[in-house]
Structure 1
Amino acid sequence: MTKPTRVRVLLLSPAKRILLIKYRNTGPTGIPQPCWTTAGGGRKSGETIEQTALREIAEETCMTDIRLGPVVWYGEDRHRSGAWKTLFQEHFIVAFAAHEKIDQARWTEHEREQIIETRWWTLDDLRTSSEAIYPFNLADRLEPILRGEYPSEIIKLPRI
């Protein structure tokens, strides 16, 4: 398996809602292709998946009282990067937040330019939305995790 360059975090609240972030997703063409995705981002040299997850959550939400769960999925995605055509190689890790309060104080300049909105979603919200949400079929993939059912091995998501 290719060494993933990014970590996505399935950040779950006590109300069993998942945090998604809506990105402007403006590539080299300058045309926005907004989409929702989980918290997370690039791995720094020498970081573990867990270290990246905790750092990214702290940067994107200011939450530091996070309990990590298992790594459940691996995916490769070129679709989400729009005109940049970047191949995202990502591990997805489960994490549990103590609350749903988000603070933007640690956002980078890039995040301030690209993030449109943050929102906690229920499974029903995910299923009824007509917006672009990554990974695809998130509600169906997330449902067993919300029940505490984790795969025995990391599941490889279909490449998009």
Structure 2
Amino acid sequence: MGEPTRVRVLLLSPRNRLLLIKYQNIGPTGVPRPCWTTAGGGRGSDESVERAALREISEETGLSLVRLGPVVWYGEDGQRSADWKITFEEHFILAFAPTETISDRGWTEHERNQIIETRWWTIEELRRTSETIYSVGIADLLDPLLSGNYPAEIIKLPPI
């Protein structure tokens, strides 16, 4: 524990599609390793998972009328930042967007330099893609959530 904490948002559209963001994922070596991940980011020590999720959703999508669901997963991710030798402790929260129309107006300069693309994905597209997506196995993890079957306790994901 004591590692940087993050919130990851499983943002679902009215069409039951998941928003993913494709990052260049450039480490200190300067070599890009593009990957897709959910919306989200850093969480302050005085910030709840829910508050951080709403802030990140607003910054990354421009959406404000989002309904939050439960925190469903917890994971430790050292893969995306392996060159930096950082392991992020991440809480994944379910959220429901009122629309698939998003805006990049709230992006920081860093996000503008790192983000390649945003896209809403169906579960079938997540299963078929050969692109790198974090969390690993997200389609299988997401499947019961799409049916409203939420875990009774937060699921601990295998470390990556």
TM-score of the pair, normalised by structure 1:
0.97
Write out aligned runs for 1:59-74 (5 A).
59-74=59-74
* Residues 17 and 122, structure 2, Cα contact 8 Å, conserved in 1: yes
* Residues 4 and 42, structure 2, Cα contact 8 Å, conserved in 1: no
How far has the Cα of 1:45 moved from its partner? 3.1
Give the partner amino acid of 1:44: G
1:122 aligns with 2:122: yes
RMSD of Structure 2 on Structure 1 (CA): 1.2
Aligned to 1:12: 12
* Residues 20 and 37, structure 1, Cα contact 8 Å, conserved in 2: yes
* Residues 33 and 82, structure 1, Cα contact 8 Å, conserved in 2: no
CA distance in structure 2 between the partners assigned to 1:107 and 1:90 by the alignment: 21
Aligned to 1:151: 151
After superposing on structure 2, the runs of 4+ consecutive aligned residues of structure 1 that deviate more than 6 Å are 1-4
Aligned to 1:104: 104
Task: Rate the CA distance shift 1:71–1:78 in 2: closer, same or farther, 3 A.
Answer: same
CA distance in structure 2 between the partners assigned to 1:8 and 1:41 by the alignment: 7
Aligned to 2:133: 133
SS of aligned partner of 1:10: strand
How far has the Cα of 1:3 moved from its partner? 7.6
Unaligned stretches of 5+ residues in structure 2 = none
Unaligned stretches of 5+ residues in structure 1 = none
Aligned to 1:86: 86
Give the partner amino acid of 1:109: E
Identity of aligned residues (%): 66
Aligned pairs, how many?
160
How far has the Cα of 1:93 moved from its partner? 0.1
Write out aligned runs for 1:47-66 (5 A).
47-66=47-66
